[in-house]
Amino acid sequence: MRADRIPPGRRNASGSPTKLPMTPACTLVSPADTSRPGSWGRYSCFVLLTAFVTSATLMGMPTYHLWRRRHWSRVSLERDLQRSRDHGVHPCDDFYQHVCSGWDGNHNRRYRTPLAKYSSAFDQRVVDRVLLRPFHTGSARAEDKASSLLLMCLSRTGRRNKWSLSKVLVELGLPWPMKSEITRYDLLNTLVKASLHFGTPLFWAFYVGRHPSRSHENTIYMTLEPRCAEWIADFERLMARGRHDDYLRRCAEIVGGIGQSYSTMIHAVTTTHLDIAEKVRTFWDQMTLPRLQRMNDFELRRAVNGHLPDDSQLWLDDEIVNLQPLLYRALNETHFSGNAESFMLYLGAYAVWWLSPYASRYLTAAMLADMGWAGTWNSHRRAKCLEALGSVMPLARSNFYQDAQGDKSLTWTMQRLTVQSVSRLGKVIGEAFGRTFNILASRVYSNAYNMTLTWGLLDQVYAQVHLDGGNGFFDLYLRACRLSVAVFKQSMRRPRNILSHAPGIADVRFYRNLVMREVVVQNNFVSEIQTDSRHMLSMLSALVGTEICEQLLAIVYFLVQYDDSFTPIEGLNESTNGDDSLKRYGQVIRTPSFTQKFTLRELRRLVFHSVIAYFASYIPSLPEAVAITAVWTEAHASDEQNSFVGVPVDQLFFLVSCFNRCGEAGTVYELQASFANPQHRKQVELCQ
């Protein structure tokens, strides 16, 4: 060691270096020593720390998901139903309270409805399978792209990404959280731009999809965005807990900065929300009659054409498909016109709500805490990441769901049994229905064309999706959405892409029913998370049979009663003649207690759901179903714990049907409660 490098105090009186005793190198070196013996300790600590972090990252995620798998294996519809029932309430007095008292009374539950709980459990299974399979992040295969996209979303969620949120709001033309003068065209242009330019619909969606009657053309569909129901429920829960002001102010401070008063924005958003929520409850219906809307609205046509290529421009005599004409008319007369400024503030709050899971973990986690669901961040993020995957690669997500489901024969079996049940009882609807149903039912598929789309085919479908570059998941997600919608809006009259399951519109079930003659069955309904080999056909009929029956009836109804322009066909409006039990039900819903409480549209919905229950409850009585039940009984005769012990088979259908509807609120709750009461329904076995 050089003498000029020896620190002061280390020299003797003569100026020569002091002799030091031999000491281990790690205690001898000074902070300024950069030799190898002097740095090995710090280097070793760095290597050990890096190895620890890497091991924790590589082993922690699989271990976590394996733990979650064991946790979700304990999810049981049977146990939840038995805990929810209140045997102190007689089913003939109030069937809904008899079934749902335990669920509705549990204020610590983490899910709004039982279906949300089981759907979350199934989502966890999907994520487990995706993340635990080997894949390459730079691969051109659709399966690897989808896996990479999901992994990036789950692992790279932003914390307080103020810049990204503000940038997107500016590009959308939203001055939020500040109020500014705005015209009807500006508002419509913002809605159209979000859908047809960014590929991320905002409240009122404009989708590119297959034309309902011209299968070789694309057209524009407009409807309420599917996620709006979740937004309304979240905001109303915040309002019920008195936390909506804090939530809106927190979002505004992230985007617009602190030190300002946002009272005007908060009041406008809250007031607008109350009115919009009421309009949605009044006019929205999943299976309302669509309308071909001519483009004679100049401002709407100008907004749409501004985001379409030259060879896809719409003219005065062109038409787009309005899937919610009643709701659109109500919104157009109010918030799209006279209240445009307040509605733009509402759109800004809505945009921050749905973007924050990808751009700001802080905002989403704080919102969940305000809602009393602080421990649900992981399940919420998982659901949002799967939603993002569906926005870009819907068929890839569908394949992941189908792989997680496993055996698909149960879906096909239940569809076949449902068709048999409706065929036998079809006289309830009318002769025209009976003549047509069997022909059309043979042409109806299930879940993306009977789930025959292979990953090899999807490699070509999603070749335009590129996951390279970008500044994190949020930027990559927005770029992928923009590229996807650009492909589908090119040359709508001569589509370059013949895919019917276009991003966005693929999540609208009625579109798939109406345009593709496809029945959509939730994959978790036919997985062991909700069903297993011990569950009887009565339960499967309540879970799966009602879903299939509802969509089959809707498909046949629209094909029989309406032409390609959704105009009623004369001479086919047959009244429901039905059997005596349905006639008694019709007499019940005409009583003042019903007619004064519900609108005519809501009463029709009650009748429709009751007809569905009529068909689905008959499934276990079919000869094929009886044979299946006999095989099931023999196979599980020695089981120590059969499912739903002590519950009569003839009651199980109604118990499960009602339990699925626990946790609803407002008018929906009243409708479901009335639907669940046996004295208001066709089947009254529980009260005999």
**Strands 319-322, 445-446: pairing kind:** unpaired
Give me the percent of the chain exceeding a pLDDT of 70.
76
> What is the number of other CB atoms lying within 10 angstroms of the CB of residue 580?
8
Q: Per residue in 562-587, pLDDT tens? A: 888 888 886 554 444 555 555 666 66
Summarize the confidence of residues 65-80 as an average pLDDT: 61
- CA 640 from centre of chain: 37
Residues 447 and 506 sit within 8 Å (Cβ to Cβ): no
CA nearest to 169, candidates 353, 303, 337: 353
- Mean pLDDT, the chain, whole residue set: 80
**In angstroms, rounded to a whole number, what is the distance separating the alpha carbons of residues 165 and 403?**
35
Local confidence band at 33 (pLDDT 50, 70, 90 cut-offs):
very low
Check residue 566 and give its pLDDT. Answer: 87
Summarize the confidence of residues 128-155 as an average pLDDT: 88
Q: Per residue in 466-507, pLDDT tens? A: 887 667 888 889 999 998 888 888 877 777 666 778 888 989
Of 28-37, 49-58, 132-141, 381-390, the range with the highest mean pLDDT is 381-390
Check residue 45 and give its pLDDT. Answer: 52
Reading phi first (left if > 0) and then psi (alpha if -120 to 50, else beta), residue 430 is in left
| Burial (CB count <10 Å: 0-12, 13-18, 19+), residue 334 | middle
The partner residues of 519 in beta bridges, in order of sequence, read 446
Residues 582 and 575 sit within 8 Å (Cβ to Cβ): no
SS (H, E, C) 294-328: ECCCHHHHHHHHCCCCHHHCCCCCCEEEECCHHHH
Q: Which residues contact 129 (CB under 8 A, 6 or more apart)?
A: 400, 403, 404
Summarize the confidence of residues 63-77 as an average pLDDT: 54
Summarize the confidence of residues 225-233 as an average pLDDT: 93
Local confidence band at 36 (pLDDT 50, 70, 90 cut-offs):
very low
Sheet holding 291-294, edge to edge: 204-210, 218-224, 319-322, 291-294
Among 98-107, 273-282, 424-433, the range scoring the smallest mean pLDDT is 424-433
Check residue 236 and give its pLDDT. Answer: 93
Local confidence band at 34 (pLDDT 50, 70, 90 cut-offs):
very low
pLDDT higher than threshold 60 for residue 66: no
**In angstroms, rounded to a whole number, what is the distance separating the alpha carbons of residues 388 and 11?**
69
pLDDT higher than threshold 70 for residue 96: yes
pTM metric for this prediction: 0.83
> What is the number of other CB atoms lying within 10 angstroms of the CB of residue 163?
12
pLDDT higher than threshold 60 for residue 31: no
Summarize the confidence of residues 418-426 as an average pLDDT: 86
Give the residue with greater pLDDT, 364 vs 424.
Answer: 364
Give me the percent of the chain exceeding a pLDDT of 90.
29
**In angstroms, rounded to a whole number, what is the distance separating the alpha carbons of residues 420 and 424?**
6
Check residue 48 and give its pLDDT. Answer: 52
Local confidence band at 599 (pLDDT 50, 70, 90 cut-offs):
confident
The angle subtended at Cα 468 by Cα 462 and Cα 473, nearest 5°, is 90
Local confidence band at 240 (pLDDT 50, 70, 90 cut-offs):
very high
Among 237-241, 384-388, 412-416, the range scoring the smallest mean pLDDT is 412-416
Which whole-number Å values give the CA distances from 197 to 189, 208, 230, 247, in the listed order? Answer: 10, 11, 24, 29
pLDDT higher than threshold 80 for residue 157: no
Check residue 156 and give its pLDDT. Answer: 66
The DSSP annotation for 40-52 comes to: HHHHHHHHHHHHH
Tokens of 537: 């056909």
Residues 504 and 480 sit within 8 Å (Cβ to Cβ): no
Residue 174 CA neighbour count, 13 Å, CB half: 29
Local confidence band at 28 (pLDDT 50, 70, 90 cut-offs):
very low
**In angstroms, rounded to a whole number, what is the distance separating the alpha carbons of residues 618 and 356?**
46
AA identity, residue 12: N
Check residue 641 and give its pLDDT. Answer: 57
Among 102-111, 226-235, 392-401, the range scoring the smallest mean pLDDT is 102-111
Summarize the confidence of residues 227-234 as an average pLDDT: 93
The partner residues of 221 in beta bridges, in order of sequence, read 207, 321
Torsion angle, CA of 191/197/200/205, rounded to 10 degrees?
40
CA nearest to 364, candidates 108, 159, 120, 124: 159
Check residue 53 and give its pLDDT. Answer: 43
Local confidence band at 684 (pLDDT 50, 70, 90 cut-offs):
very low
Secondary-structure class of domain 120-398+453-520 per CATH: mainly alpha
CATH 1.10.1380.10 domain span(s) along the chain: 120-398+453-520
pLDDT higher than threshold 70 for residue 678: no
Check residue 7 and give its pLDDT. Answer: 44
**Exposure string for 448-483, b = 16+ CB within 10 A, e = fewer:** beebebeeeebbebbeebebeeeeebbbbbbbbbee
Q: Per residue in 525-551, pLDDT tens? A: 877 767 665 677 888 888 899 999 999
Check residue 352 and give its pLDDT. Answer: 95
Among 18-22, 209-213, 553-557, the range scoring the smallest mean pLDDT is 18-22
571 in helix, strand or coil? coil
**Percent of the chain as helix, strand, coil, to the nearest 5:** 60, 5, 35
Q: Per residue in 332-358, pLDDT tens? A: 998 888 788 999 999 999 999 999 999
pLDDT higher than threshold 60 for residue 363: yes
- Helical H runs in 175-294? 184-196, 228-240, 244-256, 263-283
